[in-house]
Amino acid sequence: MASLDQPWVENAERALIQGLVKSEAFRRLQEISFLGAIDYYNIHKSKENTWYFSRSDHTFGVLFLVKRLIDNIEISKKDRLYAVAACLCHDLGHSPFSHSTERAFKKINPDINHKVVLEFIMSAPEMGVSAVLSEFGLSVDRVLGISVGTDNELSWIFHNPINVDTLDGMLRFIASFRLQLPFDVLRAVDSLASLRNGDDLTPHDVDNLDVFWNVKASFYEHFLKRGAYAKFEDAYIELVLAKKKSVDYRDYLKIDRELAEEIGLEPELYFKHIEHEREYVPSKFYIDRSISLRSISDLYLRYVRKGGKA
């Protein structure tokens, strides 16, 4: 394992992390809320009952899980660097207020989304990312491929039904409302390592992954699509559409505060009547318990989501 050569690994990865974190692109994530418009309401109306996380907080959480994962699988030193780089870059393209704003921006300009913006950020010299990657001999195209799910070797780390990105994401969603976590995140990461290594999972390991999938289903079906917070996000989207007539890359590169000031966002939006409530399109999350987990590919067969949009 790469951990047998730990001094080199730690020094190179530490330098790569420091370089990317200091970039203009990454610093912006410190001022982008993780839950988006929901965080705006919580900060102003429910601060005593909730916790706030930024996109950079989430990225560091994913980094911790990535490091735990790659410390426990067979992986080359170069691919360790690629995994770390992809982790730190994967959310750079998010708009202010994260997914909440992107839903509105895509209605105004469907040709731009956070993946397109990510490609721009990673290539533009002024954003500071490409120079850091070049210093470590890393390909911008491959880091981008790992981040968006097109790399054949490492995309599984971030793109399978149960992955380090969504594990930290669900942890932060639950922690935002100060609720008790019903699944063990570290055990889930260790299970991913076991599957990658071809090791057997215990029944408790599988139960833990099943619980995570059910929690994820509840989050998408009940929190994101229905209820008071979903209505607040819909009102926020209506406000963005009313105030913005055009969207380009510069809009995606703003921070929460800049967009809030531009559109006149106020916490009282929570109580606004929605003119056009979104059509509820259910997703079918289910677990095919006939599928035994023996490899990473089995995750796609056991944990299924069909239809619907978040």
Q: Please tell me the predicted confidence (pLDDT) of residue 307.
A: 64
Each residue's pLDDT tens digit, 266-309: 877 766 655 555 555 566 899 999 999 999 999 999 999 886 44
- If one compares 2 and 182, the residue with the highest pLDDT of the two is 182
> What one-letter code names the amino acid at 213?
W
**CATH number for region 2-306:** 1.10.3210.10
| Helix residue spans in the chain (DSSP H) | 6-21, 24-29, 37-45, 55-70, 77-89, 98-108, 114-123, 129-135, 140-148, 164-176, 185-197, 203-218, 228-243, 249-252, 256-263, 296-302
pLDDT over 70, % of the chain? 90
Each residue's pLDDT tens digit, 94-114: 999 999 999 999 999 999 998
d(Cα 132, Cα 140) in Å, to the nearest integer? Answer: 10
d(Cα 184, Cα 29) in Å, to the nearest integer? Answer: 27
- If one compares 213 and 47, the residue with the highest pLDDT of the two is 213
With cut-offs at 50, 70 and 90, classify the pLDDT of residue 248.
very high
With cut-offs at 50, 70 and 90, classify the pLDDT of residue 3.
very low
